[in-house]
A and B are shown apart, each in its own frame.
Chain A
Amino acid sequence: MKLLLLEVKDMHCSNCAMKLQALEDDLPGVDTVDASYRSQKMKVVYDETIVTPAAIMDAVQKLGYTSEMVE
């Protein structure tokens, strides 16, 4: 399991955070998503043998948001 920290600057309500959190169910390999509208960040715990950070960021984009990796 690995941790990916993303900054999602276009979340405009806590509902957006809920949408992003649903990736835990919808994207195979994603274990947990902790997205916060307040901090505009999301923490993703994922299985690196199944999914890549790029694929996760791609899924975020498909939901209508842009993400940037946080070092």
Chain B
Amino acid sequence: MLSLWVAFITGLTTGGLSCMAVQGGLLASSLASQIEKEVATSGTKTTQKSSPQIALPIVLFLAAKLVAYTLLGALLGALGSVLQMTPTMRAILQFLIAIFMIGNALRMLNVHPIFRYFSFEPPASVTRFIRNKAKNKTSLFTPIFLGALTILIPCGITQSMMAGAIATGKPLLGAALMFAFTLGTTPVFFVLSYFATKLGSLLEKQLVRVVAVVLLVLGLLSIDTGLNLLGSPYSLTKLMQTNTQPQVAEIRQAETQSDNVITLNVVNSGYQPNVLQAPSDTELTLNLITDNTNSCSRAFLIPELNISELLDQTGTKSVQIPAQPAGKKIAFTCSMGMYTGEIVFN
């Protein structure tokens, strides 16, 4: 299980940026125009609005987002206690998210009119309703509504956190995890949306391009994650690993191959070695060693053999691997498809 600190730091770093790419592009821009519109409709005198008044809708947006995601975390935690998502289910989810991200990126880059279908186009009656609510000065409904709505478009990293919340299997822990993560994303989100509001439409067009490129990259990463979860040898992560780090495995091979026991060190940054050499045609014991490991590498999967283990923070867990023919390669991965490796039988 992910620690709350890891969730918070993830939010503060990559989470904030990738959330801004997905949710910022779709929702914070409507929030920005909402503010622009308020400024415009309230006359020229108020164009000199002080910063706190522009900041208020953003704060409300973020607060609503925080509450919505915390509730979602609780719900996912509860769901996790009854339903366990299989790696294949998660892989399919990753592919769907990738299609959504790449489609949106191509839409933003204006590649073909067909990609416009990736954009949410609320019916006129809905936008009329939101507008009427927003017109009421005392009502701060719109930013709150939009903030809560972000749960419908979680970014790739948020989605991984949601998977983490399911994995907790407890409503309270799920809620705490999503709270910590969303809180972490808040500073980046605030700063970026605050300045996006001030940039104006000229720079906004450039920002759209940047966001589109980021989305494209995240979409490809999402496909990669999906491939890892399916245990595919053709994921980018896997191809890069086999080209860069085969030596590590050779050294380890000598000390681990005896007694049909192979050892894998599960560390915060993944698995060491990431290519394990193993004897073929014999049953093996795979020892998974954790030592103060806090990252998602602790949720260990071998998709092909249907092995799924949630390791303790510190300890050793043994997994039985049935006999495999020589030349066979079996992929292992963390439950989020971020860290990967393989066992090579020969």
Contact = CB atoms under 8 A, between A and B. Distances in A.
A38 B131 contact: no
B113 to A, nearest CB: 8
B128 interface: yes
A54 B201 CA distance: 24
25 contacts: A12-B110, A12-B205, A13-B29, A13-B119, A14-B120, A14-B122, A15-B29, A15-B33, A17-B127, A18-B30, A18-B33, A18-B122, A19-B33, A19-B37, A21-B128, A24-B128, A25-B131, A25-B135, A26-B41, A32-B124, A34-B124, A37-B116, A37-B119, A38-B117, A64-B201
A35 B117 CA distance: 15
A19 to B, nearest CB: 6
A12 B201 CA distance: 11
A15 B41 CA distance: 17
A37 B121 contact: yes
Contacts of B108: 12-13
Interface of B: 26, 29-30, 33, 37, 41, 108, 110, 113, 116-117, 119-122, 124, 127-128, 131, 135, 201, 205, 208
Nearest to B30: A15
Interface in A1-53: 12-15, 17-19, 21-22, 24-26, 32-38, 40
B41 A38 contact: no
B208 A18 contact: no
Contact of B121 (A19, A22, A33, A36): A36
B110 A17 contact: no
A32 B108 CA distance: 28
Contacts of A19: 33, 37
B121 A38 contact: yes
The 6 A-B pairs with the shortest beta carbon distances in the complex, nearest first, are: A14-B121, A38-B116, A15-B30, A14-B119, A18-B127, A34-B124
A38 to B, nearest CB: 4
A32 B127 CA distance: 12
A21 B127 contact: yes
Contacts of B131: 18, 21-22, 25
Contacts of A25: 131, 135
A27 to B, nearest CB: 12
Contacts of A40: 113
Nearest to B120: A14
A19 B33 CA distance: 8
A64 B202 CA distance: 10
Contacts of B117: 38
A18 B126 CA distance: 10
Given A18-B33, A26-B41, 17 more contacts: A12-B110, A12-B205, A13-B29, A13-B208, A14-B119, A14-B120, A15-B30, A15-B33, A17-B121, A18-B122, A21-B131, A22-B37, A22-B131, A37-B121, A38-B113, A38-B119, A64-B201
B125 to A, nearest CB: 10
Contacts of B33: 15, 18-19
B35 to A, nearest CB: 12
